[in-house]
Structure 1
């Protein structure tokens, strides 16, 4: 069942995210580096959960963003965080995070969550949707390509 996020789920969502990122470092992209969740593409920050909760709180405070949870009973098995950004030539959609518990993959949970986001974008007149993914997150890349996404750039970092 898909349900809108409420702060009642804040701690459980952080635990879910932690389980995913600790066991699948390929999830780390430049977003996690910029947020302070990760120190490098394969290393989480010591206080990564606190950094992620700050990020979460900022994102859900933005009225242009939506966070949906996929629940099995009351257990979080997936989530998607998405929103509309208006700093381009035209408003565009962004999928900030999409994750499904590995034990629940192949059950169309990610597809349902992604479909909710893209339907929301279309209903609001948005023509393009972007997302980022860790450079080595090949299973996610295949999933997104299967759903019509095409790679349009690479992101590089210089550590100063």
Structure 2
């Protein structure tokens, strides 16, 4: 093999090794930051036949059970039960809850699994009702849209 081919081969090998190392580091970083989403039923019963491990980071979403919110009087610590259609999961949180947080409301918590039914959250996000409409827009829609349908409005508009 002549020196020119050896040099090309060395450059190609160096590029392939560097590319492989870069892809490996990217995959490792993505794996470390991946938070899987669970519902309370999936957390307790497993998702696709696999239960999350204690210490695993995850996100969990569900409804705050009414009457379950317990606040510590000396600190910002809060605990509450989260449920969907099945079992309940206890969420422990130390911090200020969002303004939209209340019992019977949907939330998403991000945290670490402490045991099979307890999550220590470091972030709680309250979900608003999808049917919510600001009062000003609701009033404007009521003024501009009478109970008759659109085609009846067109007929009346063309007759005038």
The alignment's TM-score, normalised by the length of structure 2, stands at: 0.20
Q: Quick check: which one's strand share is greater?
A: 2
Q: Answer 1 or 2: higher relative contact order, Cα 8 Å, separation at least 6.
A: 1
Give TM-score scaled by structure 1 length: 0.20
Q: Whose radius of gyration is greater, 1 or 2?
A: 2
